[in-house]
Structure 1
Amino acid sequence: MTARRRYSYRAYDGGPDPLAPPFDLREAIDRIGADVLDGSSPRQALQELLRRGLGERRGLDELTRQLWQRRRELQRNNRLDGTLQQVRELLDRALTAERKALARQDSDDARFGELQLDALPTDAAGAVRELENYDWQSPDGRAAYEQIRDLLGREMLDQRFAGMKQALENATSQDVQAIRDMLADLNELLSAHARLEDTTERFGEFMNRHGHFFPEQPRTTDELIDVLAARSAAAQRMMNSLSADQRAELAALTEQAFGDPRLAQSLAQLDAMLQQLRPGQDWDGSGRFRGDNPMGMGEATRALEELGRLESLGEQLAQGYPGASLDDIDLDLLQDVLGEQARVDARALAELERELREQGLLERAADGSLQLSPKALRRLGQTALRDIADQVAGRSGERETRRSGPAGEASGATRPWAFGDTEPWHVPRTLLNAQVRRAGGDPRVLDVTDVEVVETERRARAAVALCVDTSWSMVQEGRWVPMKRTALALHQLISTRFRGDDLALITFGRHAEKVELGQLVGLEGAYVQGTNLHHALLLAGAHLRRHPDATPVVLVVTDGEPTAHLEPDGSPHFSYPPDPETVHATVGELDRLTGLRAAVTFFILGDDPRLALFTDKLARRCGGRVVAPDLDGLGASVVADYLRHRR
């Protein structure tokens, strides 16, 4: 009989959750839309979203902050700044001298040389490597570059023997011979120790002759081996951390520093002997940092390369260069530096950017700029309408109608009752529903779910002109975004529930203009003086006349009295305080709307007493209304007034 398998379940702890959704597309478009409503371009809004991140996914700013924190810790804790700055100064000196020399030459080779210098990697280690085979035209540049090679070579050799850096500087032939003799005697001593011979006397003789090379003053052969093995292992870890080209370069520097290939051979023999005698040392590592302890030159070389990688990764995350894309980010390097979760976050951001385009939420305009698509605008409209729906539903007498035709007679059909319906109940269907439910075991006599109402063949058709003030005061006083959200909500309501209605969006500042929803949403605030209500009412009247069979509705959102009007030649005239011609032109256009039997409502923002007095007189003249909502209630007031006029 097969044994039953037993399973246990617990929280996943193997890294980033593999089942976690990469992003919330609806939240992303809401965030982008909020920034666009506030005046940002869609491209700026997308970049801001990627910088801030989404949900639990870190953005580029947070990844960059952690990257530079790692860089600061690397420099501060491991004392890297001195050597790094010296190498950079020498490199800058070499490149400056070379560029000056090339600028004085009028030849194709000189121009090609300049291109080579411009294409160098941004990190010092990469630039030094690229310049290895460069044909220098400046003697000073070549000398500075050779100083870099000499500096790195001497300091890396200093890992093996304390004081070697000084011994190799301006070394004479006698100095080189002394180093060669020391290495030969050292290798013989260690070979004898490896054969398990008693090396006490030989060790004493060695230290008497060569002790000045060993400031640690070891007392036995084993202590000498311990000191040398630790340094040799550190040198090996440094070599392991470098590329093949860099290892070849360091080998050449070693031969150049010693000035004798036989010395390099003696060092290789010494390394092999030490690895045999101390196999427990870390010979396979690649440089480890040890907090506040000063770093050896092998680890410093590793840190120099690491800093170059961090700088390169920082440029990728900054996305500040032309043609930048999240696909440019080296995810393997990011994971090495900041961990697996950073890779997951960066990949999710790239997928989010790609998905926004593939889903048609962002599209290219004719001029190549990025803009919100109609699909994205509908999504923003849904959000805006949902935010004000509860406010509208709570207003007495301002519920939307569901009548569906022009005649106002019963169509013979019924439907379930929904909150806000004003149609009469269909009693037979309601009672039948109750009986069927009770037959199923529900003891209640009547429930709201049983109610059905009569469908009627009536739907009022309206022509609506929403005129919104776009003068600078709307931006300055924080009324810009509420105005746009109001237009979004009204547009969404009409386009989804009252498709027979026709909405015109009209903006007015120094002059007025009929705009599409995308234009209004993406409109940036500009310093414009003038509130040309006359021009806005003129455009509203033209829209109403195109729909003579519809109920005419004009909704005006403004925060200032009219200060501009159109001259007969079509040019705007601005004056503050308003001159009589502006007032006369505005009132005259309002009278023409009154002749069309238009229902006019003024929504005034702020507490300007002159505006309140002026709009009150206008409303009395045309039989309209004045509403003074707060910013949070602007959308609800406009939508509720529209629904009231439809009935």
Structure 2
Amino acid sequence: MAASRRPGGRHRARYGRYDGGPDPLAPPVDLAEALGHIGEDVMAGYSPERAMQEFLRRGGRDGRGLDELAREVARKRQELLAKHNLDGTLNEVRELLDKAVLAERGQLARDVDLDDGDRAFRELQLGNLPPSTAAAVSELASYDWQSAEARADYEKIKDLLGRELLDQRFKGMKQAMEGATEEDRAAINEMLGDLNELLEKNRAGTDTPEDFAEFMAKHGSFFPENPQNIDELMDALAQRSAAAQRMLNSMTPEQRRELMELSAQAFGSPELMEGLNRLDQNLQALRPGEDWGGSEQFGGEEGLGLGDGTGALQDLAELDALSEQLSQAYGGARMDDLDLDKLARQLGDAAAVDARTLQELERALRDSGYLKRTSDGQLRLSPKAMRQLGKALLKDVANRISGRQGERDLRQAGAAGERSGATREWAFGDTEPWDIPRTVLNAARRRAADGDGSGRLFELADVEVQETEARTQAAVALLVDTSFSMAMDGRWVPMKRTALALHQLVTSRFRGDHLQLIGFGRHAEVMEIEQLTALDSMWAKGTNLHHGLLLANRFFRKHPNAQPVLLIVTDGEPTSHLEPDGEVYFSYPPHPLTIAYSVRELDNAGRLGAQVTFFRLGEDPGLARFIDSMAKRVDGRVVAPELDDLGAAVVGSYLGSRGGRGSTAAAAESTFGGWFGGSRGFWVG
């Protein structure tokens, strides 16, 4: 906005498009979406750096990514080459020449005062012009035109060639010099002479800023780009001069020869061509890094003049530079390398907006603390990023829990806490085990009270359940299978998502609980959440449940006052165990000793009071039989969730284990009560 003063002292505001950088009113970039995609890729085995690059390539919901922008750049490049050819100036010269010859022949036929011999000689000269346009123009340079119209058309050829050659080096000159006078042409030649002297001083290292200022004060009207120093001037001139050379390289040998011969006719004097050749030599010496030797294959029907063709070659060079920038395939590539002005010029403002959004995303991801660089120079997801990802995953889990129609529980037993020895009447929603003696006794008493014993054998009013004492803290061990089959069968990422969601829930909502993550493959290992989510696929065979249970029981013993909760996610029977000397023993099919060691440690967990839930992945009958038998030994529970529902199943089981007398659904409602709106479970926090 700019303000100006009206007569009388009143102010008038004028509004225009904001061009001072990024739009200050634009909405902030959506880091949550970016982090979600990056987190998924990291858990799939990508490095954070590569995951970020992949997101930038794909783009977000509301903007194009690098790949789509690169495809548009390639498409425009192909369209330029397929639409145009480089015959434009030669064809225009040919048309003017044919028009001049036709007008001259007409004048010769009408001129009755012309000597017959002279007429015959002139007609013979016109009829035997060489087929080469350049040669014909050169041969007619000394012809005494009888037709004023023909002479004017021929002079247009010289004027056209001069303007086209200037337009090759100074964009816009073709139009600016249309109808130019001799004084205008003299000014051009003077400017070229002064420019070459300035460039030659720079080559010799003797130029000064005052030399540049003096040149611009005298000839600045020829340079609408308004360069601020000699380097900017040389850059602009060299880019266009190199494009002109590439256009010449792209022509056929016949086209080049014709053009070189015609150039001598520019403005009817060789002085212009001499100045331009001197300019090209200076620029090549000063800017050798420009592409002076390239060429392109044009194959279209629309002819381009020298100036327009040079502009097309400049466009192609810009498109090539944009293609390289968008590829981000070179060392040290950053989104800030993208030239937004070039992108807007070639693909439009919308493309520049999408690219700026990607730049801001990359900058925000690097500067906001979501990515951290380790001592070895590698990017890692920071704890802040892990919390953000965990929130998103927990949100998805909570929505799934709120909308579930039930789990595929295969067996459920046990209680939510230690049995107190007391019983009470059953109430709707109770999950505690029935007290069978008290229930049978209540039924017998009721039937006896009826007198004739004709009532129903059992009624719900007869049922009593065993009361339990809910513990205020839980020690939760999540054992996740990291064996070969988990990666091979597409269960790797769902497993990590589950661990991250549970970790987020415990650390944010149940800070008094203790959580340990244990991965068990050929051997078991206690892992931090960052280590687990970044874990590469484990291709070594082996499912060492025995070692995992050993670590879990050690964890439970460290927290004797907390309720032990054991959650085991697996897709295979145990195939390895630890020997007494600490070595890993592997056997497939499972060795009886491996099974025995695993059962022994599971029994130990049961004696510690652990509430055990197995999450069985896959439909292997042998695995189902094994897990069922294991769960029965400790009054445990088996859940066979779909992969997409694994996180909800594990989190739901954890909530149920610490929910006292309430059900899993009730515990979830209590836990997520502040995060849901209404019974449909919409996330509002």
Relative to the length of structure 1, the TM-score reads: 0.62
Q: Deviations over 1:87-140 (max 9, x none)?
A: xxxxxxxxxxxxxxxxxxxxxxxxxxxxxxxxxxxxxxxxxxxxxxxxxxxxxx
Q: Who is 2:366 aligned against?
A: 357
Provide the residue aligned with 2:29 in structure 1. Answer: 23
TM superposition shift of 1:303:
3.2
- 1:503 to partner: Cα distance: 0.3
Aligned residue runs from structure 1 range 214-233, under 5 A: 214=133, 220-233=150-163
Q: Find the residue that maps to 1:348 and give its secondary structure.
A: helix
> Aligned residues: percent identity?
49
Alignment check: 8 A CA contact 2:480 2:520 kept: yes
Alignment counterpart, residue 39 of structure 1, candidates 42, 45, 68: 45
Query: Is 2:540 aligned against 1:528?
Result: yes
Structure 1 residue 609 displacement after superposition = 0.7
Residue 69 in 1 paired to residue 75 in 2?
A: yes
2:357 aligned residue (328, 331, 348): 348
Query: Do residues 387 (structure 1) and 396 (structure 2) align?
Result: yes
Letter of the 1:76 counterpart? A
Q: How has the CA–CA distance of structure 1 residues 458 and 624 changed in structure 2, closer, same or farther, with 3 Å as cutoff?
A: closer
Q: Does the Cα contact within 8 Å between 1:159 and 1:234 map onto a contact in 2? A: no
Opposite residue 318 of structure 2, the aligned amino acid is R
1:583-605 deviations in Å (ceiling 9; x for gaps): 11111111221221211111101
2:82 aligned partner, one-letter code: R
Give, in angstroms, the shift of residue 386 of structure 1: 1.2
Matching residue within 230, 237, 253 for 1:244: 237
1:619 aligns with 2:631: yes
1:317 to 323, 326, 337: 326
Q: CA 1:346/1:508 → structure 2, altered by over 3 Å: closer, same or farther?
A: same
Measured at CA, do residues 498 and 245 of structure 1 come closer, stay the same or move farther in structure 2, by a change above 3 Å?
closer
1:624 deviates by 1.3
Give the drift of 1:46. Answer: 0.2
Shift of 1:349: 1.2
Aligned to 1:467, what secondary structure does the other structure show? strand
Write the deviation string for residues 308-364 of structure 1: whole angstroms up to 9, x where unpaired.
Answer: 332222111111111111122222222222222222222221111111122111111
Secondary structure of the residue that 1:58 maps to in structure 2?
coil
Are residues 206 and 524 of structure 1, via their aligned partners in 2, closer, same or farther at CA, if it must alter by over 3 Å? farther
Match of residue 368 from structure 1? 377
Post-superposition offset of 1:246: 7.1
Query: For 1:293 and 1:248, how far apart are their aligned partners in 2?
Result: 23
Bigger Rg, which one:
2
| 1:521 counterpart letter in structure 2 | T
Aligned residue in 1 for 2:607 = 595
Whether the 8 Å contact between 1:562 and 1:583 is mirrored in structure 2 is: yes
Which residues of structure 2 form unaligned runs of 5+? 1-7, 101-110, 141-146, 172-234, 249-255, 274-297, 408-428, 430-468, 661-685
2:595 alignment partner, one of 565, 583, 589:
583
Whole-Å Cα distance in 2 between the matches of residues 395 and 314 of structure 1? 48
AA in 1 matched with 2:167: R
Residue equivalent to 1:491: 503
TM-fit CA distance, 1:471 = 1.4
Q: Deviations over 1:600-622 (max 9, x none)?
A: 11110111111111111111112
CA distance in 1, matches of 2:562, 2:123: 110
CA RMSD across the alignment: 4.6
Alignment of 1:32-431 (within 5 A): 32-79=38-85, 211-212=129-130, 214=133, 220-241=150-171, 243-245=236-238, 266-267=268-269, 292-393=301-402
Q: Which runs of 5+ in 1 are unaligned?
A: 81-154, 164-181, 187-197, 272-288, 399-419, 421-456
Shift in Å at residue 77 of structure 1? 1.6
Structure 1 residue 625, shift from structure 2 partner:
1.4
Aligned: 1:609 with 2:621: yes
Query: Aligned to 2:477, which of 465, 468, 491?
Result: 465
TM-score (norm 2): 0.59
1:526 to partner: Cα distance = 3.2
| Distance of 1:613 and 1:619 partners within structure 2 | 10
Q: Deviations over 1:397-417 (max 9, x none)?
A: 99xxxxxxxxxxxxxxxxxxx
Shift of 1:396: 10
- Residue identity opposite 1:39 in structure 2: G
Distance in structure 2 (CA, Å) of the matches to 1:60 and 1:585: 54
In structure 1, C-alpha distance between the alignment counterparts of 2:374 and 2:552, rounded to whole Å: 28
Once residues 403 and 34 of structure 2 are traced to their aligned partners in structure 1, the CA distance between those partners, rounded to angstroms, is 30
Q: 1:76 to 1:526 in 2, by over 3 A?
A: farther
Question: Quick one: distance in 2 between partners of 1:338 and 1:207?
Answer: 54
- Residue 44 to residue 73, structure 1, CA distance change in 2 (3 Å): same
**In structure 2, do the counterparts of structure 1 residues 395 and 79 end up closer, same or farther at CA, with 3 Å as the change threshold?**
closer
Question: What corresponds to 1:122 in structure 2?
Answer: none
Q: Deviations over 1:272-304 (max 9, x none)?
A: xxxxxxxxxxxxxxxxx9973133455444433
> Would the aligned equivalents of 2:483 and 2:521 in 1 still touch at CA under 8 Å?
yes
What is the CA-CA distance between 1:497 and the residue it aligns to? 1.0
SS class of match (1:565): strand
Distance 1:247 1:489, change over 3 A: closer
Give the AA of the match of 1:348.
T
Deviates more, 1:339-348 or 1:582-591: 339-348
- Measure the CA separation in 2 of the matches of 1:633 and 1:330: 45
- Aligned partner of residue 505 in structure 2, secondary structure: helix
Contact 1:464 1:554 in 2 (8 A): yes
Is the Cα contact below 8 Å between 2:545 and 2:577 reproduced in 1?
Answer: yes
| CA offset digits 1:21-70 (Å, max 9, x no partner) | 25211111112112222222211110011111123222111111111111
Are 1:461 and 1:501, in contact at CA under 8 Å, matched by a contact in 2? yes
Taking a change above 3 Å as real, the CA distance of residues 624 and 207 of structure 1, as seen in their structure-2 partners, is farther
Distance 1:201 1:513, change over 3 A: farther
SS at match of 1:607: coil
